[in-house]
Structure 1
Amino acid sequence: MNATEAGLPLGDGPLRGLVVIDVTRVVAGPYCTMMLADLGATVIKVENPAEPDYVRTFPPFVEGENGRASAFFAQYNRHKLSVSLNLKTGEGQALLRKLVGQADMLVENFRPGTMAKLGLDYEALKDENPGLVYVSISGFGQTGPHSLRPAYDNSAQATGGLWSFNGEKGRPPVRVGTIIGDLSASFYAAIAALAAVMHARQTGEGQLVDVAQQDSVVTLTEHAVVNFTVDHVVAQPLGNDHPFVRPYGQFACKDGFVFFGAYTDKFWREACRIFGEPDLIADTEIDTMEKRFDPQVYEHHVAPVVRRWCADRTKAELEEMAGDLIPLTPIKTMAEVVQDPHLGVREMFVPVVMDGVPVTVFGSPMKLSKTPVRAAGIAPAFGEHNATVFGGWAGLSAGDLERLRAQGVI
């Protein structure tokens, strides 16, 4: 029985009809499946009846129709169906197998070995569904000597190298100010999962998709890998400076800070004109990009000029002067970002209803001309769709559902 025949809700978008079993929690996993749901997949979120997804208790909160509800949960779980299922029970495992037999994909983010102990790893489930795409997101991956280690986002930032060179020059390193390990792993998992789905639809053959947070962070280190492998230079914190591109960083202005990045010869010439100093274009000490990249030349002859240009002007004035001519942008607070009219046109802030209350969350950066992404939507209440999924789709009777509920299986 397919999703349509069973009355399983279908999304709108290019992934309409793709059914995903989501056995993930927190962010590394839920964000992956949310992106799939935004693109039209039907995502069934599985939560333990005794221990729902932790982020249902994460702030900030809104007062919903049934009490306090997490806006953080809403941001990463829109469009999903929610079922409660105890995978530590035999009947719970059997019911998940039944769902997997009808699904296209399963996504999980437990520590490697956890799903195997439950008899629900890829090797166990591929017999239920040979075309199953099984996505595993973990801290260190399914293979390697560190695969069983517990991990959080900070673990990935630390072991992937990113933490070591983020922060102010000459001071201890600072973690990146967001959960970049969780987020990047979610991005890679979504991309790899869709590639695996294409392969499955062409061949009928599913596969295991293994994405590690540490691996994902390594790919975000830009220059650091090749600087070491080629020149044996170990990346260090540089604050707001770039390792070699100059001017390209943060500059103080009258009411905050801006990013100034007019480092190419074309942009530098334009900046000199905009700020009323065209004579600098012909200054033989700084007239080429190569000269401006030199640390001593930059510090003594370029940086003072840019600092002077910015110091007595506001962010808005500088942004207006730069216009479409040079890369100069205000460093915006989150209040300014949420109120940014350009982002409003781009629909980057949308309402998601959580327990009857609309919460403004970030939208989707994916813009498809023929099959628009849906971002605004509803986040599910815990176990809200048990009857729809277990009854309508999996075929359990009302009596079965009541018995499993009484036994703590659902």
Structure 2
Amino acid sequence: MNRLHPAALPVSEVKGPLSGIVVLDLTRVVAGPYCTMMLADLGATVIKLENPLDPDYVRTFPPMVAVEGEERSGFFAQYNRHKLGATLDLKSAQGRELFLAMVAKADILVENFRPGTMKKLGLDHEALHAVNPRLVYTAISGFGQTGPHSSRPAFDNNAQAAGGLWSMNGMPGEPQRVGTIIGDLAASLYASFGTLAALRQAEATGLGQLVDISQQDSVFTLTENAVVNYTVAGKVAQPLGNDHPFVRPYGRYACRDGHVFFGAYTDKFWMEACRAFGTPQYATDPEIDTMDKRFVPEVYERRVRPIVEAWCQPRTKQELEALASDKFPLSPIKTIAEAVVDPHLAARAMLMNVRYGGAQAQVFASAVHLSALESSPSASVPLVGEHNQAVFTDWLGVEPVRLAALRAEGVI
């Protein structure tokens, strides 16, 4: 069989650079499902494998869409489009046998179990490498596959706390978690990047490898200048609210109907803003005419902040955005309701419809825009085990009679 054309698996809804690549997806929740969805968005055939008695519990997460007397999770739909759904009990002997048959034909495996779980099943990287030397094995976990904390359970908040981000976010004196699951999302992004790099090498050499992704590592790399500021200058990052550690003006400012981000801190942008707001004299004011002068905290608080506040307060978000246009950085701080109807996001096709067992949901689309990618404005999300026949019978060659027996025994 030509590996680039997996026999009998349903054709992906996406025709892209990963078309023909088969991914076994053992992940659940977000740190993992988002990674495999990004691969599916690029054309990979992703088989989401779930335990028949304990499927991904995110299928029960709100918001729920009612359809035909049942409810479908919009949250689940957001991270599992373009995938095939199959069930398999990896703890059973027959389940492991089927799984190894799948591994032999796959290109990539992604799992987000706690380190050691797959080894207990006899299905860790070393075991699977023996079955398929070219397999790329991607493992996402809270603290990675090595190190003294590797066996600890973790959620996104563990990563935000242990990675240093929590301590430097929020208002001064009040550290707060970032208002999204940044540890899960960052780990998925790094996992996608690492997986594709390993896949390229596997295609060149015939040898796959372990891609080890830690949520703590991922968050640690998102702390901007905090690490080098400490290692070089001994400064410990503290929560700054909406301010930047050294760039000014660069933050949140109140306007007539909400807030905007204003970031005209360079000399060029500062001059453009001064002109646009009808106060060109500030561009040549000897106390604030250079970027370095405006960076000085005392000068910023006494001179610059009041100027920017006076520019913004009497105007609406729309007026300020129109005034700034493409002359200097300014954006309304939009609610999600406003962002969803943003005409620019609409022009970039950043919303799409997904079908999930008869339910419909609108979710964010892929942020990766490839000129040759033939994507669809809609997508489907698998039910639990929806594609068992296609995966086990059509692809693996399991006889229908045996498939029925496997289903009756709870193996699938």
SS of equivalent residue, structure 2 residue 105: coil
The structural deviation recorded for 1:64 is 2.5
The structural deviation recorded for 1:55 is 0.5
Which stretches in structure 1 are left out of the alignment for 5+ residues?
none
1:151 and 2:147 correspond: no
* Alignment correspondent of 2:35: 32
1:406 to 405, 408, 411: 408
SS of equivalent residue, structure 2 residue 131: coil
Letter of the 2:81 partner, please give it. R
C-alpha RMSD of matched pairs (Å): 1.0
In structure 2, how many angstroms separate the alpha carbons of the residues matched to 1:375 and 1:234?
Answer: 46
* Alignment correspondent of 1:306: 308
Alignment of 1:8-407 (within 5 A): 8-11=9-12, 12-65=15-68, 67-169=70-172, 171-374=173-376, 376-407=378-409
SS of equivalent residue, structure 1 residue 404: helix
Paired residues, number: 409
Letter of the 2:9 partner, please give it. L
Cα deviations across residues 5-55 of structure 1 (Å, max 9, x unaligned)? 631123311100000000000000000000000000000000001111011
Q: 1:285 to 1:372 in 2, by over 3 A?
A: farther
In structure 1, how many angstroms separate the alpha carbons of the residues matched to 2:233 and 2:375?
Answer: 44
SS of equivalent residue, structure 2 residue 146: coil
Contact 1:348 1:365 in 2 (8 A): yes
Cα deviations across residues 145-170 of structure 1 (Å, max 9, x unaligned)? 0000000000000000000000001x
The structural deviation recorded for 1:357 is 2.1
Contact 1:13 1:374 in 2 (8 A): no
Letter of the 2:270 partner, please give it. W
Contact 1:82 1:385 in 2 (8 A): yes
The structural deviation recorded for 1:263 is 0.3
TM-score (norm 1): 0.98
In structure 2, how many angstroms separate the alpha carbons of the residues matched to 1:66 and 1:400?
Answer: 32
Q: 1:207 to 1:5 in 2, by over 3 A?
A: closer
Letter of the 1:111 partner, please give it. R
Letter of the 1:312 partner, please give it. P
The structural deviation recorded for 1:372 is 4.1
In structure 1, how many angstroms separate the alpha carbons of the residues matched to 2:388 and 2:79?
Answer: 20
Contact 2:4 2:20 in 1 (8 A): yes
The structural deviation recorded for 1:375 is 6.1
Cα deviations across residues 312-351 of structure 1 (Å, max 9, x unaligned)? 1100010011011010110000000000011000000100
Which stretches in structure 2 are left out of the alignment for 5+ residues?
none
In structure 2, how many angstroms separate the alpha carbons of the residues matched to 1:196 and 1:298?
Answer: 48
Contact 2:6 2:22 in 1 (8 A): no
SS of equivalent residue, structure 2 residue 130: coil
Q: 1:158 to 1:5 in 2, by over 3 A?
A: closer
In structure 1, how many angstroms separate the alpha carbons of the residues matched to 2:38 and 2:68?
Answer: 27
Letter of the 1:259 partner, please give it. F
SS of equivalent residue, structure 1 residue 134: strand
